[in-house]
């Protein structure tokens, strides 16, 4: 019977539902009078007005139910919101029908209490009929699941995310998955059930439950799960042949909708994420809302994300400034609307960036345009100087000339005690901003952070590519360590730093725990389903030109000052000397004919802590 109904067309199903409701409306009105008079056939049934009232009752109540959207629900998915719709519809239908009968004969012979009884009966039979059909439909679906070769699965997280995921799986048999239980660390939930599926225990008993039930898939349905929680779960099932998938982070779940299709494999980024930084969204909103904001390097990993983050806070206009036409083309496909314009230009050309700032008159500038690849900049130091130093100087000067309110420089932890050209030029970019801050109305702020997960040229995409090819995975040194953060977190930090109103200072994020690159490589091999040493080898290639064994957050002689955000610090760096501007002009006057040794000496004279490393060759790229 259920199968027959489900195979009908939508129009045929609607006719059946309406016919059922019409019969229920008529039967409930009759039954209400039987209950009111305490008789199977009360005297009122013989009155002509009662017979006239029946079609009037059906018409008025049916119309009220229709306009209460009762017929937009799908019966086999009936739930509490559908019952509320029925109650709302009945609560409108009964008074309207009472008024209709009053117009017809002034309610002569009709007890008013019968309409109250009718209200209860309608809710019970209209709502109950829908839930009975859902129960039968669920039973039919469960029986039909026996025809499928189902994978046995558990869901970690008996909360909202787990319930929504279970519902999607239950109503999509073709997924080939059967949920055998929930796992939740809230011990108060153990022994209870969610939508008929039991909560079997907490994660401490996870391995035992997996082996006992012969589970082949594990779904982590906790969008707010931290990287430490995910690592703990993986550690508890190490050695078991079970596929693990997770839902996206809570910010990535579209409109709060959670579906099976959103499940994905655990990525290295899930294990490297840090405890989220608490941001003052009101401060950021006040900083951005209603203002014109220009972002240089808008086509890069950081610049593009800053553009996306800025648009969330309703600026008057976003101006994306980028040298690469391909990057601008890709960004325009992602960001559309009247709030954003994109300009192709070069920060190394004073007239290019100057004309853009003069034309659009931004109140805030985020300077993200930079060369960041350490080994390549060792080979091309003049390019690093022209982009990272001259580009910053050009953008800063244009900002001052056009009375920009705030200039935020995106810097790097490699600017601390640099051992490479890239880090040294970024330190010089910080010094350029500090030297200009004291003599301009424009406020300059510099923000440093570490390696960004998944950005172009970073280690994780490289490892993924090497693993996909069967190895080997190349690591420069067994003891090298790095700090990591996600692109969105880095860009949110940039916005927060800009909003704090602290001018002329370098701001640094508490980067959390550093990560050993060798451990990261081993973890990524394991996540891909391989074994290190058996399926895929790791090769050590040696540190590349300009690389350090570890990155630093502060210099030893830098004073650290806590800001209003407990994860953001101010680094009290040394101020520039009186002849700094003259020496910067000498630096940027160097050209491609200058010997590399002379370039390095000039950089070292400006940044004494710069200690160039011996040039080495390596095939590995981090």
The larger pLDDT score, comparing residue 564 to residue 443, is at: 443
Q: What is the mean pLDDT of residues 7-34?
A: 84
pLDDT at 261 over 70: no
Q: Which of 68-77, 94-103, 198-207, 409-418 has the lowest mean pLDDT?
A: 68-77
Per the CB < 8 A criterion, the answer to whether 620 and 604 are in contact is no
Query: How many CA atoms does the CB half-sphere of 453 hold within 13 Å?
Result: 18
Across 346-423, the runs of DSSP E, i.e. the strands, are 364-367, 406-412
- The predicted model scores a pTM of 0.65
Query: Ranked by mean pLDDT, which of 237-241, 263-267, 471-475, 501-505 comes out on top?
Result: 471-475
Residue 504: per-residue pLDDT? 77
H or E element that contains 621: none
Residue 253: per-residue pLDDT? 46
Residue 618: per-residue pLDDT? 33
Query: Ranked by mean pLDDT, which of 64-68, 236-240, 426-430, 557-561 comes out on top?
Result: 426-430
Residue 12: per-residue pLDDT? 75
DSSP-assigned letter for residue 554: S
pLDDT at 390 over 80: yes
For 445-470, the three-class secondary structure string (H helix, E strand, C coil) is EEEEECEECCCCCCHHHHHHHHHHCC
Residue 546: per-residue pLDDT? 63
Q: How far is the C-alpha of 598 from the C-alpha of 542, rounded, in Å?
A: 26
pLDDT at 259 over 70: no
Per the CB < 8 A criterion, the answer to whether 301 and 487 are in contact is yes
Q: Can you tell me whether residue 282 is helix, strand or coil? A: helix
Task: Give the tokens for residue 156.
Answer: 């970690």
With pLDDT > 70 as the criterion, what percentage of the chain qualifies?
83
pLDDT at 564 over 70: no
Helix, strand, coil proportions of the chain in percent (round to 5)? 50, 15, 35
Cα Rg of the chain (Å, integer)? 34
What's phi and psi for 413, nearest 5 deg?
A: -70, -15
Residue 255: per-residue pLDDT? 43
Residue 450: per-residue pLDDT? 74
Distances (CA, A) of 535 to 268, 271, 470, 531: 19, 22, 8, 5
Tell me the pLDDT band of 622, cut-offs 50, 70 and 90: very low
The larger pLDDT score, comparing residue 301 to residue 13, is at: 301
Alpha helices in 7-79 (DSSP H): 10-37, 48-67
Closest by CA to 138, choosing from 77, 221, 92, is 77
Which residues partner with 567 through β-bridges?
Answer: none
Tell me the pLDDT band of 249, cut-offs 50, 70 and 90: low
Tell me the pLDDT band of 134, cut-offs 50, 70 and 90: confident
pLDDT at 274 over 60: no
H or E element that contains 531: none
Is cis: bond before 472, omega within 30 of 0? yes
Q: Is 487 exposed, middle or buried (0-12, 13-18, 19+ CB in 10 A)?
A: buried
In the chain the domains, ranked by start, together with CATH numbers, are 2-144 (no CATH), 148-266 (3.40.50.720), 281-453+483-512+552-606 (3.40.50.720)
Q: Which of 64-68, 413-417, 498-502, 559-563 has the lowest mean pLDDT?
A: 559-563
The larger pLDDT score, comparing residue 438 to residue 90, is at: 90
Residue 386: per-residue pLDDT? 95
Q: What is the mean pLDDT of residues 119-124?
A: 92
H or E element that contains 254: none
Tell me the pLDDT band of 557, cut-offs 50, 70 and 90: low
Q: Which residue has the tokens 């648009």?
A: 311
Per the CB < 8 A criterion, the answer to whether 483 and 450 are in contact is yes
Closest by CA to 464, choosing from 519, 525, 516, is 525
Q: Chain-wide mean pLDDT for the chain?
A: 82
Q: How far is the C-alpha of 173 from the C-alpha of 164, rounded, in Å?
A: 15
Q: Which of 344-348, 356-360, 586-590 has the lowest mean pLDDT?
A: 586-590
Closest by CA to 503, choosing from 554, 433, 561, 562, is 433
Q: State yes or no: is 414 an active-site residue.
A: yes
Query: How many CA atoms does the CB half-sphere of 432 hold within 13 Å?
Result: 29
Q: How far is the C-alpha of 288 from the C-alpha of 491, rounded, in Å?
A: 14
User: Which of 372, 414, 522, 548 is an active site residue?
Assistant: 414
Per the CB < 8 A criterion, the answer to whether 167 and 177 are in contact is no
H or E element that contains 485: strand 484-485
Which DSSP string corresponds to 402-413?
A: TT-SEEEEEEEG
Query: How many CA atoms does the CB half-sphere of 276 hold within 13 Å?
Result: 13
pLDDT at 389 over 90: yes
Tell me the pLDDT band of 138, cut-offs 50, 70 and 90: low
Residue 277: per-residue pLDDT? 58
pLDDT at 547 over 80: no
Assign residue 418 a region (left: φ > 0; alpha: ψ between -120 and 50; beta: otherwise).
beta
Per the CB < 8 A criterion, the answer to whether 606 and 428 are in contact is yes
Q: How far is the C-alpha of 351 from the C-alpha of 35, rounded, in Å?
A: 89
| pLDDT, tens only, 286-331 | 889 999 999 999 988 889 989 988 998 889 999 999 999 999 888 8
The larger pLDDT score, comparing residue 564 to residue 517, is at: 517
Q: How far is the C-alpha of 402 from the C-alpha of 389, rounded, in Å?
A: 20
pLDDT at 67 over 50: yes
Per the CB < 8 A criterion, the answer to whether 432 and 394 are in contact is no
Contacts of 366 by beta carbon, 8 Å cutoff, 6+ apart: 293, 294, 295, 296, 303, 306, 310, 408, 410, 494, 498
What's phi and psi for 266, nearest 5 deg?
A: -65, 130
pLDDT at 31 over 80: yes
Q: Which of 168-177, 460-469, 589-598, 607-616 has the lowest mean pLDDT?
A: 607-616
């Amino acid at each position: 019977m259920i199968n027959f109904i489900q195979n009908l067309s939508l129009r045929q199903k609607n006719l059946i539902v309406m016919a059922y409701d019409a019969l229920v409306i008529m039967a409930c009105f009759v039954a209400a009078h039987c209950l009111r008079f305490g008789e199977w056939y009360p005297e009122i049934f013989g009155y002509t007005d009662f017979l006239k009232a029946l079609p009037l009752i059906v018409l008025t109540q049916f119309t009220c139910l229709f306009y209460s959207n009762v017929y937009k629900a799908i019966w086999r998915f009936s739930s509490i919101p559908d019952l509320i719709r029925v109650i709302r519809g009945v609560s409108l239908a009964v008074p309207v029908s009472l008024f209709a009968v009053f117009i017809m004969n002034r309610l002569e012979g009709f007890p008013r209490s019968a309409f109250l009884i009718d209200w209860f009966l309608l809710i019970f039979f209209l709502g109950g009929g829908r839930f009975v059909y859902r129960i039968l439909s669920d039973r039919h679906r469960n029986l039909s699941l026996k025809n499928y070769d189902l994978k046995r699965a558990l869901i970690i997280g008996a909360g909202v995310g787990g319930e929504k995921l279970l519902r999607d799986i239950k109503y999509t048999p073709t997924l080939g998955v059967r949920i055998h239980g929930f796992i939740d660390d809230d011990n108060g939930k153990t022994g209870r059930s969610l939508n008929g599926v039991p909560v079997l225990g907490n994660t401490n008993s996870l391995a035992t439950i997996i082996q006992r039930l012969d589970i082949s898939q594990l779904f982590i349905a906790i969008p707010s799960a931290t990287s430490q929680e995910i690592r703990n779960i993986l550690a508890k099932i190490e050695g078991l042949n079970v596929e693990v998938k997770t839902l996206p982070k809570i910010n990535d779940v579209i409109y709060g909708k959670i579906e099976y299709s959103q499940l994905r494999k655990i990525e290295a980024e899930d294990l490297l994420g840090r405890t989220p930084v608490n941001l003052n969204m009101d401060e950021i909103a006040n900083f951005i809302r209603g203002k014109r904001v220009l972002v240089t390097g808008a086509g890069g990993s950081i610049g593009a994300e800053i553009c996306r983050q800025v648009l969330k806070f309703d600026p008057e206009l976003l101006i994306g400034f980028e040298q690469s036409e391909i990057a601008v083309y890709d960004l325009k496909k992602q960001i559309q609307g009247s709030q954003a314009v994109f300009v192709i230009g070069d920060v190394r050309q004073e007239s290019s960036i100057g004309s853009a700032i003069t034309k659009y008159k931004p109140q805030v500038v985020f300077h993200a345009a930079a060369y960041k690849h350490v080994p390549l900049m060792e080979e091309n130091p003049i390019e690093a100087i022209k982009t990272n130093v001259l580009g910053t100087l050009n953008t800063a000067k244009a900002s001052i000339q056009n009375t920009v309110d705030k200039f935020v420089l995106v810097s790097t932890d490699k600017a601390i005690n640099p051992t490479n050209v890239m880090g040294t030029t970024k330190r010089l970019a910080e010094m350029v901003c500090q030297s200009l801050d004291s003599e301009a109305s424009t406020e300059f702020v510099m923000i440093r952070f570490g390696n960004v997960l998944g950005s172009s040229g970073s280690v994780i995409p490289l490892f993924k590519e090497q693993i996909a090819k069967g190895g080997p995975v190349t690591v420069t040194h067994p003891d090298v360590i790095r700090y990591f953060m996600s692109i969105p977190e880095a860009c949110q930090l940039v916005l927060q730093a800009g909003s704090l109103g602290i001018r002329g200072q370098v701001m640094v994020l508490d980067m959390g725990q550093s990560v050993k690159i060798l451990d990261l490589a081993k973890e990524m091999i394991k996540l891909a389903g391989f074994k290190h040493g058996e399926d895929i080898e790791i090769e050590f290639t040696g540190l590349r030109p300009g690389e350090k064994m570890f990155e630093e957050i502060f210099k030893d002689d830098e004073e650290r000052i806590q800001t209003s955000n407990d994860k953001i610090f101010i680094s009290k760096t040394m101020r520039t000397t009186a002849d700094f501007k003259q020496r910067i002009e000498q630096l940027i006057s160097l050209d491609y004919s200058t010997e590399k040794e002379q370039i390095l000496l000039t950089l070292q004279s400006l940044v004494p802590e710069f200690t160039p490393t011996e040039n080495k060759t390596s095939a590995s790229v981090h």
